[in-house]
Amino acid sequence: MGKSIDIVESTAVPITIENIDTDQIIPARFLKATTREGFGKNLFRDWRFENGDDQKPKKDFPLNNPVYSGKILIAGKNFGCGSSREHAAWAIKDYGFDVVVSSFFADIFKNNALNNFLLPVLVSEEFLQQLFNAVEKNPAVFIKVNLGEQFIEISDTGARASFDINSYKKACLLNGYDDIDYLISMKPEIEAYEHTHA
């Protein structure tokens, strides 16, 4: 799994649906694995294939539309709601996306994404519409996401929006640090806390 993110410049795949829950991103029946690998082939399984048959792709689903490809997924608001399954972030990353753009992210999904070096980019409802329109009009258009400078840009028009990210998380993503490494380094403080809060 790719560690550290800075600039991602790529074409994008638009899924305009709102309230996409993690049960759609990766249905429960695919959660039986005990490793983190290989979830990409079941990403959006039931929206992608007729009757779950991977020989029968549904033509109107954007992942199956040959004009769309790239490392950036653009999705309708309240993306990633529902189940806390991190498998959703694994599936998106495993499929080949490095960035998800939406006008609203569910909390747990956002954390899971960040913990897997999948960058959630939060934009306004208006800018999201601009992105959808731009990609629909020209699927070959490049979208540029710059984490260091915290902006997202539509290359051909130059339309640009800045996005927020917690400074700690940003440093983690830029440098390839995990929360867990930091927490492990904190063990002496954690033990001291336990002594005073027994």
* Contact residues: other proteins, CB under 8 A: 16-19, 21, 23-24, 27-29, 31-36, 46, 51-52, 76-78, 81-87, 89, 104-108, 111-112, 115-116, 166-169, 178-180, 182-184, 186-187, 189-190, 193-194, 197
CA distance 113 to 172: 13
Strand partners, 146: 7, 151
Token pair of 188 as six digits = 């002496």
Smallest separation, CB 33 to other proteins (Å): 8
Closest CB to other proteins among residues 10, 172: 172
Residue 27 burial (10 A CB sphere; 0-12, 13-18, 19+):
middle
Residue 108 sits at φ, ψ, to 5 deg, of: -65, -40
| Rounded-to-integer distance, Cα 24 and Cα 82, Å | 10
Q: Is the dihedral of CA 130, 132, 134, 136 positive or negative?
A: negative
Please say which residue, 13 or 106, places its beta carbon nearer to other proteins. Answer: 106
Any idea what DSSP says for residue 43? Answer: T
Q: Which is nearer to other proteins, 141 or 165 (CB)?
A: 165
CB neighbours (10 Å) of residue 31? 14
Provide the minimum distance between the beta carbon of 72 and other proteins in the complex, in angstroms, as a whole number: 21
Query: Considering beta carbons, is residue 137 or 197 the nearer one to other proteins?
Result: 197
| Structure token pair of residue 140 | 């070959």
Smallest distance from the beta carbon of 194 to other proteins, in angstroms? 8
Instruction: Indicate the residue among 81 and 161 with the shorter CB distance to other proteins.
Output: 81
Rounded least distance, CB 9 to other proteins, Å = 27
Closest distance of CB 124 from other proteins, Å: 13
